[in-house]
Structure 1
Amino acid sequence: MKKILFIALVALSQVLTAQNKGTLKGLLTDKETNNEPLPFANVVIKGTTIGATTDFDGNYSIKVPAGTHVVQFSFLGYKTIEKTFTIKADETIVI
């Protein structure tokens, strides 16, 4: 009985947590090389451990808690760029 209750609580916590998040996604490109995709760059929500690395085509997608955040884009040898954004639960923003 304890095992079933524990599993139910874990499942419920996952559902409740997921409801307060939105999705930040986009394509990171290098304007100095005719907007070629920038693969394997870092995309991080400032002040958190939430982040991702762009894929081979420069795409990224991150689940972010609702609210106002600053996203940082960084790549070795490039200047770090920061953008402020506000996201709501279940919203998708493209930057």
Structure 2
Amino acid sequence: MQASLFSGLPDRRERSTAHKYLAFVYCTNKEWARCDAAFDAAFDARPSFALEEYELQNTPWRDAYVKAQGKRGWQCSRPLAGQGSNNRPGQDSANPLVFSLNSTIITAITPLLPAAGGHSMALDGGSPGAFGARRPMRTENNVQLRVSPWANVTLNGKRLGVTPPLTEIKLPPGSHTIDFSNPGFETVRKTLKVEPEQSITITHDFDAR
């Protein structure tokens, strides 16, 4: 469904980028055949399509991207050696995906599989209008993102990346605005008021009707 929508995008760069993010989702969910097809579609839409170096660092779509690139008869110009390879079925991975961030606000990312089912925010049981459920923290990150199928994430007007694989972030106490955008859908904006020792889960399904 998403792929057919992307084919109608008039701008080739925008269409290529949309297929790229779709490939990210498929590879994160280990749907390798669909991931390969999405990268092929990205190159078909724009032959000069290329991933940024940070998008190739220990990510599950690295091999699929290189494979699709190899079909076009040219090698990746970015240094891939030493960055590790994908973990497709039959391969074990002891380490989570690692992303390098130049941010004083976002300090860590932990990849998780997306969960579907409408959009909501985890609320404190004592207050239906509260934005966060107070519960014991299991990681440093105090905001979890559960967006399906995927979205560009913007925090306080600054682009962060794509979810998934971006599924957990750490925010300091205070007010924050998070936007989720996906081509073909209206942008979703969430306003958070983060308090100390508070954990927040944001959930949204763009395909929900």
- TM-score, with length taken from structure 1: 0.53
Listed as ranges, the gaps of 5+ residues in structure 2 are 1-103, 108-139, 203-209
Equivalent residue, structure 2, for 1:46: 156
User: Structure 1 residue 67: deviation in Å?
Assistant: 0.5
Name the count of aligned residue pairs: 66
Equivalent residue, structure 2, for 1:69: 176
Q: Deviations over 1:61-86 (max 9, x none)?
A: 12222201111011122111111111
Q: Quote the Cα distance in structure 1 between the aligned partners of 2:173 and 2:161.
A: 18
* Identity %, equivalent residues: 29
> Does residue 27 of structure 1 match 2:146?
yes
CA RMSD of aligned residues (A): 3.1
User: Structure 1 residue 89: deviation in Å?
Assistant: 3.5
Other structure's SS at 2:170 match: strand
Paired residues of 1:22 and 1:89 also in contact (CA < 8 A): no
**Counterpart residue type for residue 27 of structure 1:** R
**Counterpart residue type for residue 38 of structure 1:** P
Residues 1:52 and 1:66: Cα distance change in structure 2 (over 3 Å)? farther
More strand by percentage = 1
Q: Which has the higher contact order (CA 8 A, sep 6+)?
A: 1
Q: Quote the Cα distance in structure 2 between the aligned partners of 1:85 and 1:70.
A: 6
Residues 1:47 and 1:38: Cα distance change in structure 2 (over 3 Å)? same
**Counterpart residue type for residue 24 of structure 1:** V
Asked which structure has the greater CA Rg, the reply is: 2
Listed as ranges, the gaps of 5+ residues in structure 1 are 1-13, 29-36
Q: Quote the Cα distance in structure 2 between the aligned partners of 1:48 and 1:65.
A: 16
